[in-house]
């Protein structure tokens, strides 16, 4: 029903519009439809709104012009059809789009970033005014003949699939009016959009997509596949940003000049001739080829250019030359191309490289890198990865690992087919993007947390200062997650993230914290993920996290399941009769996998190199990563352990008097090298230092230096036990919560002391 409603409204709109536009506008529209018909395999018969032969629709109102193609050449009489309406002014098209939004059963949205109205197949028992009026009129007509209906759904209508969008003075429609679940409107709209873009009916958007292959490696996907993917990219970011990220406005270039031609631009060089991870030279050649001989009258400016290459990326195929990656180049980067009008410049702030086979997760991850951030990523303020990077030329990019909980970590791989339903960005990343804020948690105060996936623009996540630090950039994030929401988390629960500061390279290191109870990692058909830090309410297991070195405790006091929400409280924690060690790892030196671009990580989040603390008691019980399973285990009775972290402190505490041997292990680095043998020749020595901490029966805290050293990949380095008589403890205190938040002015106390000193000095003169 809705598809035909669209076309009817278009014809009515055109009847009331002025008709002073040039005939060439009509000719352009018809040429676009012919090209779309060829793509769809339909007859190129075009039915005009003035054409009396379109008797199947009965829609030949006035002298207006709209044009329709269809599956069998019958116009809107066919269930599958597409239309273009031509107006005199852009404002007229916008007016009628607004009218349709108000009166028809559609959702105001975007199509490829263009203003759109979208309808999907299904029964609708609350139709909008115009649809309701038509339905009531029809029902009234039949009731006047057959009497009142006793059907409970008498007021319901069946909506059909349709996508309607506008570019300038044109309105486009792709419709599927079949009586089943439909869905063909997506394919129809993609064919029309592509043809309209090539004909110049739509201006270039902020994002350009080019498919490029080589003589020795042909691409298999079609342009319509890319168009359907980019529509999903906008859907994802609409949800992920809580509506704060404007839709990316997409443009596409096709190499096809005639029916049946390949849509891929074939470069002059073979794929193998490009250097390992040589994405940028490949992208440059693709841009030159795509614009070669074009009729550009001016330079073009894009926020990002996406180059799709054939086959798989290095993340999924170790033999591949290319990675799924994003290079942020800045506002002045351009590629010179040769056009019919001479040399032109194609500017692009970001170049994004994606395998033709990469699922949605890879697309939205790389698009994330092209977005602005509150924080610096190298020399630019753009969204960073949230996994431990491993690039030779960029040893600064070691960002921790927030696992499947964050799109910018390994959340891009969540879902069937390696990333078809990626998780949303974690709150740290959304804060960096400017979509969320923080609020500081007060001790002994209850907070009910809305799940991140269900938060709204302007909401705030809960944050706690690291009480062992005076650095305002070190803190804890407490975040609720909902697995049932759109692009939901792997599981519902509360996730804790430790945020540390890398003073060598001036950026944050973010790690999700492993649960202290039960299984630490879950394997599913959608991928494997870390168990939520807290997953139940007190007093059940999984409801409390004791942060021993911080002397704090986070507890979930109640949970609501659908939608997920959790009430949490942060309280002081007074450890007694505990002794343990904390490990402070240095930078991971294992490098050599990618170039200076920011690339998506590999499939498994635990393949990143790292150093870990482990312990064995006298009975052989172990705390640490099990090399046979790759899982973290805690088998020493009474032990409390942080679990594995990347580039951040780890700790293990046991009851006082327990005989424990502590080691530093680089198992994860060894595993990484096994997965990436091309990096095996790099220097793998990693520095570390360890500190002993113990709490006596009264809860007094004591600390002592424990060990300093280096460890090669695959090494197990014993360190002194905290119970060894050689360890010289000293009483110790920590600054406490609130001493590093600097919410007013970080330099105010020092300034006041200097000011006071000045007055005292002046008084003595």
422 belongs to a structural domain: no
Q: Which domain holds residue 194?
A: 2-121+160-199
- What confidence tens digit (pLDDT) does each residue in 471-514 have? 999 999 999 999 999 999 999 999 999 999 988 888 999 999 99
Domain count for the chain, please give it.
2
Q: According to the model, what pLDDT value does residue 747 have?
A: 38
pLDDT in tens, 148-179: 665 656 667 667 889 999 999 999 999 998 87
51: in domain: yes
pLDDT at 739: 85
Torsion, Cα 183 189 191 194, to 10 degrees, reads -140
Q: For position 284, what pLDDT does the model report?
A: 95
Using the 8-state DSSP alphabet, how is residue 410 labeled? T
Q: Lowest mean pLDDT of 483-487, 668-672, 756-760, name the range.
A: 756-760
Q: How far apart are CA 309 and CA 323, in angstroms?
A: 10
Q: Average pLDDT of 203-217? A: 95
58 falls in which pLDDT band (50, 70, 90)? Answer: very low
* Number of C-beta neighbours around residue 154 at 10 A: 14
Q: Confidence class of residue 394 from pLDDT cuts 50, 70 and 90? A: low
Strand residues in 531-677 grouped as ranges (E): 544-547, 552-560, 565-572, 578-585, 598-599, 612-617, 622-625, 632-634, 640-641, 650-655, 660-665
Backbone angles phi and psi of 380, in degrees to 5: -125, 150
Q: Please tell me the pTM assigned to this model.
A: 0.87
Q: What is the pLDDT of residues 116-139, one digit of tens each?
A: 998 887 666 666 565 556 555 555
Residue 110 lies in a domain: yes
Q: How far apart are CA 92 and CA 271, in angstroms?
A: 48
- In whole angstroms, give the CA distance from residue 224 to residue 353: 18
Which residue carries 């500190």 as its tokens? 691
Structure tokens given for 664: 């530093």
Residue with tokens 């008498």: 154
**Angle, nearest 10°, between helix axes 223-240 and 360-369?**
60
- Residue 223: pLDDT above 60? yes
Instruction: With respect to residue 194, please indicate whether it lies within any of the assigned structural domains.
Output: yes
Torsion of CA 473, 476, 477, 478, to 10 degrees: -160
Q: Over 80: is that where the pLDDT of 361 sits?
A: yes
Of 199, 218, 249, the last residue of a domain is: 199
pLDDT for position 749: 41
529 neighbors 503 (Cβ within 8 angstroms): no
Q: 141 pLDDT band (50/70/90 cuts)?
A: low
Whole-number Å distance between alpha carbons of 656 and 52: 94
Angle (CA) 353-357-361 rounded to 5° is 70
pLDDT the model gives residue 170: 94
Tell me if 764 is assigned to some domain.
no
Cross-strand pairs, 655:
578
pLDDT grade, residue 278 (50/70/90)?
A: low
The pLDDT value given to residue 108: 87
Average pLDDT over residues 237-256: 95
Length in residues, the chain: 765
Burial class of residue 23 in the structure, from the number of CB atoms within 10 Å of its CB (0-12 exposed, 13-18 middle, 19+ buried)? exposed
Token reading at 454: 């269900």
Burial per residue of 469-490, b for 16 or more beta-carbon CB atoms within 10 angstroms, e otherwise: beeebbbbbbbbbbbebebbbb
Answer yes or no: is 364 within a domain. no
* Residue 756: per-residue pLDDT: 41
What string of H, E and C letters represents the secondary structure of 115-126?
EEEEECCEEECC
Distances (CA, A) of 55 to 49, 61, 76, 323: 10, 12, 10, 54
Residue 62, beta-bridge partner list: none
Ranges assigned E (strand) in 626-715: 632-634, 640-641, 650-655, 660-665, 686-695, 701-711
Confidence band of 468 (pLDDT split at 50, 70, 90): very high
Share of the chain above pLDDT 70, in %: 83
Residues 6+ away with beta carbon under 8 Å from 763: none
Tell me the average pLDDT across 451-458: 95
Mean pLDDT of 425-429: 98
Rounded mean pLDDT, 17-22: 48
CB 502 within 8 A of CB 515: no
SS3 call for 670: helix
> Comparing 230 with 60, which gets the higher pLDDT?
230
Question: E strand or H helix at 231, and its extent?
Answer: helix 223-240
Q: Is the pLDDT of residue 679 over 60?
A: yes
The whole-angstrom separation of Cα 602 and Cα 617 is: 35
What does the pLDDT look like over 64-116, one tens digit per residue? 478 999 999 999 889 999 999 999 888 988 888 888 878 776 788 899 999 99
Please tell me the distance from the alpha carbon of residue 722 to that of residue 71, in angstroms, as a whole number.
78
Q: What is the predicted pLDDT for the residue at 625? A: 93
Q: Strand 660-665 vs strand 716-719: parallel, antiparallel, or unpaired?
A: antiparallel
CATH code at 11?
Answer: 3.40.1000
Report yes or no on 647 lying in a domain: yes
The CA-atom distances, in angstroms, between 500 and each of 430, 507, 570, 672 are 17, 9, 19, 23
Reading the block at residue 91, the tokens are 């404002």
CB 515 within 8 A of CB 534: yes
In a domain, 304, yes or no: no
CB 190 within 8 A of CB 224: yes
pLDDT average, residue stretch 455-462: 94
**Tokens encoding 619:** 């009975």
Mean pLDDT of the chain: 86
pLDDT, position 279: 75
Domain end, chosen from 151, 174, 199, is at: 199
For tokens 């000049």, the residue is 257
């Amino acid at each position: 029903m809705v598809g035909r409603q669209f076309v009817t409204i278009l014809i009515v709109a055109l009847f009331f519009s002025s008709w002073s536009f040039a005939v060439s506008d009509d000719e352009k529209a018809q040429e676009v439809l012919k090209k779309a018909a060829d793509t769809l395999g339909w007859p190129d018969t075009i039915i005009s709104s003035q054409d009396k032969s379109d008797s199947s629709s009965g829609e030949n109102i006035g002298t207006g012009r709209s044009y329709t193609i269809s599956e069998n050449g019958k116009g809107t009489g066919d269930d599958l059809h597409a239309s273009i309406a031509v107006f005199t002014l852009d404002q007229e098209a916008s007016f009628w789009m607004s009218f349709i939004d108000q009166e028809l059963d559609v959702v105001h949205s975007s199509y490829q970033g263009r203003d759109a109205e979208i309808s999907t197949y299904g029964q609708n028992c609350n139709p909008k005014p115009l649809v309701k009026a038509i339905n009531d009129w029809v029902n009234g007509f039949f009731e006047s003949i057959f009497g009142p209906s006793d059907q409970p759904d008498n007021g319901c209508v069946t909506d059909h699939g349709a996508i309607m969008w506008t570019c300038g003075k044109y309105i486009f429609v792709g419709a599927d009016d079949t009586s089943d679940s439909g869905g063909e409107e997506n394919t129809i709209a993609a064919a029309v959009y592509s043809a309209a873009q090539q004909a110049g009916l739509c201006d270039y958007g902020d994002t350009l997509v080019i498919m490029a292959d080589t003589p020795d490696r042909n691409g298999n996907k079609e342009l319509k596949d890319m168009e359907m993917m980019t529509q999903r990219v906008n859907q994802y970011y609409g949800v992920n940003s809580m509506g704060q990220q404007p839709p990316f406005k997409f443009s596409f270039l096709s190499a096809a000049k005639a029916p049946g031609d390949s849509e891929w631009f074939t470069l002059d060089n073979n794929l193998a001739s490009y250097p390992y991870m040589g994405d940028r030279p490949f992208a440059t050649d693709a841009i030159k080829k795509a614009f070669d001989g074009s009729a550009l009258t001016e330079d073009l400016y894009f926020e990002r250019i996406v180059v799709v290459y054939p086959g798989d990326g290095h993340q999924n195929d170790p033999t591949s030359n290319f990675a799924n990656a994003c290079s942020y180049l800045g506002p002045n980067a351009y590629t010179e191309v040769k056009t019919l009008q001479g040399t032109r410049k194609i500017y692009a702030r970001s170049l994004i490289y994606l395998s033709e086979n990469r699922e949605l997760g890879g697309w939205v991850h790389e698009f994330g890198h092209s977005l602005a951030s509150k924080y610096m990523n190298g020399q630019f303020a753009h969204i960073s990865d949230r996994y431990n990077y491993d690039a030779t030329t960029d040893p600064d990019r070691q960002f921790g690992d927030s696992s499947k909980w964050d799109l910018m970590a390994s959340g891009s791989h969540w879902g069937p087919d390696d990333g078809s339903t990626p998780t949303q960005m974690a709150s740290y990343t959304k804060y960096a993007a400017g979509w969320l804020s923080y609020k500081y948690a007060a001790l002994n105060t209850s907070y009910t947390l809305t799940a991140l996936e269900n938060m709204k623009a302007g909401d705030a996540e809960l944050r706690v200062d690291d009480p062992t630090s005076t650095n305002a950039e070190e803190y804890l994030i407490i975040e609720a997650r909902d697995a049932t929401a759109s692009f939901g988390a792997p599981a519902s629960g509360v996730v804790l993230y430790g945020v540390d500061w890398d003073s060598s390279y001036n950026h944050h290191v973010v790690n999700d914290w492993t649960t202290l109870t039960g299984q630490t990692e879950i394997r599913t058909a959608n991928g494997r993920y870390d168990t939520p830090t807290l997953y139940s309410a007190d007093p059940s297991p999984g409801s409390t996290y004791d942060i021993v070195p911080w002397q704090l405790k986070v507890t979930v006091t109640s949970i609501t399941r659908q939608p997920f929400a959790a009430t949490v409280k942060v309280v002081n924690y007074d450890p007694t009769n505990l002794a343990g060690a904390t490990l402070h790892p240095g930078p991971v030196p294992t490098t050599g996998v990618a170039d200076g671009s920011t690339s998506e990580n590999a499939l498994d989040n635990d393949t990143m190199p790292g150093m870990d603390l482990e312990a064995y008691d006298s009975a052989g019980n172990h705390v640490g990563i099990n090399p046979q399973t790759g899982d973290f285990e805690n088998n020493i009775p009474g032990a409390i352990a942080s679990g594995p972290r990347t580039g951040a402190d780890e700790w293990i505490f046991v009851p006082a008097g327990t005989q424990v041997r502590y080691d530093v292990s680089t198992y994860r680095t060894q595993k990484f090298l096994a997965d990436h043998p091309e990096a095996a020749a790099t220097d793998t020595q990693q520095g570390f230092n360890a500190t002993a901490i113990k709490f006596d029966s009264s809860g007094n805290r004591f600390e002592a230096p424990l060990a300093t050293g280096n460890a090669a990949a695959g090494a197990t380095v014993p360190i002194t036990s905290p119970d060894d008589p050689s360890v010289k403890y000293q009483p110790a205190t920590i600054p406490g919560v609130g001493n590093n938040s600097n919410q007013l002015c970080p330099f105010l106390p020092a300034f006041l002391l200097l000011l006071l000193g000045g007055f005292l000095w002046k008084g003595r003169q």
